[in-house]
């Protein structure tokens, strides 16, 4: 089917949002979007089946995928990971790869030298004590980072102006382990004796987004989206909004969720993702100017009360899809988009929650890279609402 508005070079709309980089911090050593391509389900819809292997176009990969967890130190070096929670570490890995993939960081994502460049200027985390009041050894003279921007390490680490690079992170469960451990320890001890001040930053829900900024230097808008099952697609929606309003020229979008005891207990399942997915989103014109290919184009975003309403809203604005990513954990009517291939990433990766929508977009990039046509729809949803996004091949 002909794809309306297909562009190459700058014959198309320079303001349309495109994906120019992908980074994956996923189990089983999956690093490339092409490796995300999975099996198609039948019309009956997704079902959680035991690990019995699944065919896919990318080569045989055994489920469960959780067997080989991401080792962040092996991916981006140990420096700068200490005291950071699991979700933040995963996000740093995916963020590094996505930024490098988009040409926004010099060198390869696995470069140890890059890791040094990404560490905060002040090094130690003792500075975390400072904002709580004058330290015991005196207020105004207490050691602190070199004033403001003068103290930044490697101010040029981004290859584009940092003030126009935004970060949007989606995570629902990211720092729950830190919070839960803290209150339980205090109750057990009858006091705060065993609480380390270093855990302070982990208790703020936006720790992932702020740590990504501290490591890589983007100083534009910094958003922490904690919006339930739709959070990942919402992160993409707000990235597009930041581009359209001129607040940013590039946006690093990340979805990250950890697998730990607290999350398993809250979710009621051990079949959950321990991983992160990163995408760089920018206007097609900016990508063209930078000489980087568009890997996918973002189409219409919609909200609705249920998957059928979202599909209907997408189909009102976009052609029928060649395939669609079904919402995890939500019943989908069997007659919805009959005959259209369904992709259920949760079968392979487990429940991805805030990372789900971002993972779907990365998988779409993988499909487009193999020559698949568009659009594809990605739909997420929960008891609050559903969200839908159309994606098209880029001009790469």
Partner 1 sequence: MSPGPARFPIVGVGAVASVGSSAQEIYERLCAGVSGLAPMRAFNQDWYATSQLYEIDDRGAGGDLPGRATRFLCDALREALADAGLGERLDGIPVLIGSGLRETRSVELWWRDQAEFAADDLHFGTELRRRFGALDTLTLSNACCASLYTLAMATDLLAAGEAETVVVAGTDSIGEAMFAVADRVQSIPPDAVRPFDTKRRGTLQGEGAAAVVLRREARPGDRVHGWVRGVGVNCDAFHPTAPDPTSIAAAIRDAHARGGVVPADIGLMMLHGTGTYANDKAEAEAIRAVFGEDSSVPLMTALKSTLGHTAGAAGLHGLVTALYGMRDGRIPPTPTLDDPIDEAAGFRIVRGGAAPEAAAEPVRFAQVNAFGFGGVNAVAIVEAENG
Scan residues 252-271 and list those touching partner 1 (CB under 8 A). 262, 265-267
Q: How far is the CB of 127 from partner 1 (least distance, A)?
A: 6
199 touches partner 1 (CB under 8 A) = yes
Stretch that binds partner 1, among 36-44, 102-110, 195-203, 277-285 (CB under 8 A): 195-203
Among 46, 228, 375, 388, binds partner 1 (CB under 8 A): 228
Q: How far is the CB of 99 from partner 1 (least distance, A)?
A: 13
Among 29, 43, 156, 191, binds partner 1 (CB under 8 A): 191
**Angle (nearest 5°) at CA 278 between 177 and 125:** 50
Q: Which of residues 282-321 bind partner 1 (CB under 8 A)?
A: 303-305
Stretch that binds partner 1, among 57-65, 177-185, 341-349, 371-379 (CB under 8 A): 177-185
Of 96 and 393, the one with the shorter C-beta distance to partner 1 is 96
Residues 6+ apart with CB under 8 A from 257: 87, 171, 172, 173, 174, 263, 272, 273, 274, 275, 276, 352, 353, 354, 355
Selection from 177, 157, 215 nearest residue 86 by Cα:
177
242 touches partner 1 (CB under 8 A) = yes
Return the number of other C-beta atoms located less than 10 Å from residue 344's C-beta: 20
Please count the CA atoms within 13 angstroms of the CA of 63 that sit on its side-chain side.
21
3-state secondary structure of 324: strand
Taken in order 296, 300, 306, 311, is the CA torsion positive or negative? negative
176 touches partner 1 (CB under 8 A) = yes
Stretch that binds partner 1, among 56-64, 73-81, 172-180, 277-285 (CB under 8 A): 172-180
159 touches partner 1 (CB under 8 A) = no
In this structure, what token pair is assigned to residue 154?
Answer: 């490697």
Residues 6+ apart with CB under 8 A from 162: 155, 217, 218, 219, 220
Q: Which of residues 356-395 bind partner 1 (CB under 8 A)?
A: 382-385
Q: Which of residues 41-80 bind partner 1 (CB under 8 A)?
A: none
Beta strands in the chain (DSSP E): 17-25, 165-170, 222-225, 250-257, 275-283, 296-304, 323-325, 341-343, 376-381, 386-393
User: How many chain residues interact with partner 1 (CB under 8 A)?
Assistant: 88
Q: Find tokens 């959070």 and name the residue.
A: 231
223 touches partner 1 (CB under 8 A) = yes
Stretch that binds partner 1, among 22-30, 220-228, 314-322, 362-370 (CB under 8 A): 220-228
Q: Which of residues 115-134 bind partner 1 (CB under 8 A)?
A: 120-122, 125, 127-134
Q: How far is the CB of 164 from partner 1 (least distance, A)?
A: 10
Stretch that binds partner 1, among 69-77, 142-150, 334-342, 368-376 (CB under 8 A): 142-150
């Amino acid at each position: 089917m002909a794809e309306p508005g297909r562009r190459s070079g700058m014959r198309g709309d320079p303001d349309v949002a495109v994906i120019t980089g992908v980074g994956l911090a996923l189990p089983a050593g999956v690093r490339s979007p092409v490796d995300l391509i999975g099996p198609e389900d039948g019309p009956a819809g997704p079902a959680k089946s035991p690990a019995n292997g699944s065919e896919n176009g990318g080569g045989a990969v055994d489920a469960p995928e959780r067997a080989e967890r991401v080792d962040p130190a092996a991916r981006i070096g140990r420096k700068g990971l200490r005291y950071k929670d699991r979700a933040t570490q995963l996000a740093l890995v995916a963020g590094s790869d996505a930024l490098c993939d988009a040409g926004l960081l010099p060198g390869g994502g696995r470069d140890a030298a890059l890791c040094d460049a990404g560490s905060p200027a002040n090094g130690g985390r003792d500075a975390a004590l400072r904002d709580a009041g004058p330290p015991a050894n005196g207020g105004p003279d207490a050691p602190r980072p070199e004033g403001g921007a003068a103290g930044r390490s490697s101010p040029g680490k981004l290859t584009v102006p940092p003030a126009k690079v935004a970060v949007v992170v989606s995570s629902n469960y990211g720092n729950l382990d830190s919070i839960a451990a803290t209150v339980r320890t205090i109750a057990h001890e009858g006091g705060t004796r065993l609480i380390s001040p270093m855990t302070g930053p982990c208790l703020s829900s936006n720790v992932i987004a702020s740590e990504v900024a501290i490591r890589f230097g983007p100083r534009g808008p910094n958003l922490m989206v904690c919006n339930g099952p739709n959070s990942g697609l919402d992160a993409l929606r707000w990235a597009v909004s930041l581009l359209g309003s001129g607040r940013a020229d590039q946006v690093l979008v990340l979805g990250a969720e950890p697998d730990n005891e607290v999350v398993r207990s809250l979710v009621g399942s051990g079949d959950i993702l321990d991983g992160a997915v990163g995408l760089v989103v920018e206007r097609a014109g900016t990508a063209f100017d930078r000489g980087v290919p568009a890997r996918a184009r973002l189409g219409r975003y919609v909200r609705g009360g249920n998957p059928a309403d979202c599909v209907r809203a997408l189909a009102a604005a976009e052609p029928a899809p060649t395939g669609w990513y079904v919402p995890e954990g939500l019943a989908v009517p069997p007659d919805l988009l009959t005959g259209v291939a369904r992709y259920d990433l949760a079968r392979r990766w487990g429940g991805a929650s805030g990372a789900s929508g971002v993972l779907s977009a990365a998988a779409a990039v993988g499909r487009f890279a193999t020559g698949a046509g568009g659009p594809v729809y990605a739909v997420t949803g929960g008891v609050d609402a559903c969200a839908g996004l159309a994606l098209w091949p880029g001009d790469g």
